[in-house]
A and B are shown apart, each in its own frame.
Chain A
Amino acid sequence: MEELSPFVIFFASIFTSNILLTNFLGMCSYLSVSRELKTAWGLGLAVIFVLTCTSAVNYWLYYYLLVPQGLEYLQYIAFIIVIAAFVQVVEMIVDRVSDRLYAALGIFLPLITVNCAILGGSLFMVIRKYDFVQSLMFGAGSGIGWALAIMALAGIRRKMSRRSAVIPALEGPGIVLIITGIIALGFIGFSGVVQIN
Chain B
Amino acid sequence: MTSSSKRESRHAGDPHMDRIEEELRHGNYLRGDERRLQRIIDDDKAEVTRLGMDLHEITDKMQRLFQEGRKGLGDPVVVDEAYEVTVLEYRGIIPSPWMDHYAAPKIVVEARNLKTGQKLRFSLLSLHLIRNYGFFQGKGSPFRIEPRDLYAFFQ
| Closest chain A residue, CB of each to CB of B2 | A91
Closest to B44 in A: A171
Contact of B9 with A110 in the complex, beta carbons under 8 Å = yes
- CA gap between A106 and B17 in the complex, in Å: 15
Give the contacts of B1-15 with A (CB-CB under 8 A). 1-2, 4-5, 7, 9, 11-15
User: Is B42 a contact partner of A172 (Cβ separation < 8 A)?
Assistant: yes
Instruction: Tell me the count of chain B residues lying within 8 A, CB to CB, of chain A.
Output: 22
Chain A, 110-124, contact with B by CB distance < 8 Å: what is the 0/1 string? 110011000000000
**Please, what's the 1-or-0 string for B49-68, where 1 marks a CB less than 8 Å from any CB in chain A?**
11000000000000000000
Q: Are A165 and B49 in contact (CB under 8 A)?
A: yes
Residues from 44 to 99 in B contacting A, C-beta threshold 8 Å? 45-47, 49-50
Would you call B4 and A32 a contact (CB within 8 A)?
A: no
The binding surface of chain B is classed by DSSP as helix
Q: Does B38 contact A (CB under 8 A)?
A: yes
Contact of B4 among A106, A115, A165, A169 (CB under 8 A): A106
Additional A-B contacts beyond A33-B15, A111-B15 (5; CB < 8 A): A32-B12, A32-B14, A95-B2, A110-B9, A171-B45
B residues contacting A by CB (< 8 A) are 1-2, 4-5, 7, 9, 11-17, 19, 38-39, 42, 45-47, 49-50
**A residues neighboring B (CB under 8 Å):** 28-29, 32-33, 35, 39, 88, 91-92, 95, 106-111, 114-115, 165-166, 168-169, 171-172
Closest 9 A-B residue pairs measured CB to CB? A168-B46, A28-B12, A107-B15, A172-B42, A29-B12, A32-B13, A32-B14, A110-B4, A171-B46
